[in-house]
Structures are given as structure tokens and as C-alpha cells.
């Protein structure tokens, strides 16, 4: 479980590190593609834009619980898994929720 935590942190840092470069290369590629540019320069931008791996994608980042590091059933506003969310609601720690009794 600890390994998944470190792997997730590493992937997030890698994404944030390369995000700006990827945006700049994409912008330059689109603008240079509209103008008449030498094929060598176009090839350089193509190589630089393809350089990034699949781990740099924003969709590959996992949403995880802050307390248990669980990756399934994480409630977005609080970043808590359903188990901890249920416990906190039961104790009244999270305002606005209460246990439903039928």
C-alpha cells in the first residue's frame, strides 16, 4: 500500500513538471503548423511533443483518500473514502449530514 502512495506522488510530480512544457510545445506546434515552416523545424517540435510518456497524462492520475490512501469510492469534495466519510458523518465531524433512520 505504501508503494502505491509513493507511485502516485511520483506520477503527480512528473505530470506537474512536464505540464508547462507540453502546453508550450503544443502551442508552438499549432502556430507553426499554420505558417509555412521548414520541415526540419516541424520535425523537431513533433519529436519534442511525442517525448512525453503516458504517465504524464492528467487522466492517469488517481484520486485517493487522504487518510486511508484507498483509490476506490472517493468522495470528491472531501477527498475521503466512503468508509471514513461514513465514520465522520456518524460522529458529526462533517457538518450538514446525519445518519438516516427509518
Q: Which one is predicted more confidently, 59 or 69?
A: 69
Global confidence as pTM: 0.53
* pLDDT tens digits, one per residue of 10-66: 878 887 777 777 777 777 766 666 665 666 666 666 666 566 556 666 666 778 888
Average pLDDT score over residue span 74-93: 88
From residue 37, how far is each of 31, 32, 34, 40, 41 by CA, in Å? 10, 7, 9, 8, 7
Q: What is the DSSP string of 20-50?
A: HHHHHHHHHHHHHHHS---HHHHHHHHHHHH
Amino acid at each position: 500500500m505504501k508503494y502505491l502512495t509513493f507511485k502516485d506522488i511520483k506520477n503527480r510530480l512528473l505530470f506537474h513538471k512536464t505540464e508547462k512544457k507540453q502546453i508550450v510545445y503544443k502551442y508552438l506546434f499549432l502556430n507553426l503548423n499554420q505558417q509555412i515552416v521548414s520541415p526540419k523545424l516541424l520535425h523537431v517540435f513533433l519529436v519534442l511533443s511525442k517525448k512525453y510518456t503516458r504517465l504524464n497524462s492528467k487522466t492517469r492520475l488517481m484520486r485517493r483518500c487522504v487518510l486511508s490512501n484507498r483509490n476506490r469510492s472517493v468522495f470528491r469534495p472531501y477527498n475521503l473514502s466512503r468508509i471514513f466519510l461514513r465514520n465522520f458523518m456518524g460522529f458529526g465531524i462533517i457538518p450538514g449530514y446525519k445518519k438516516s433512520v427509518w
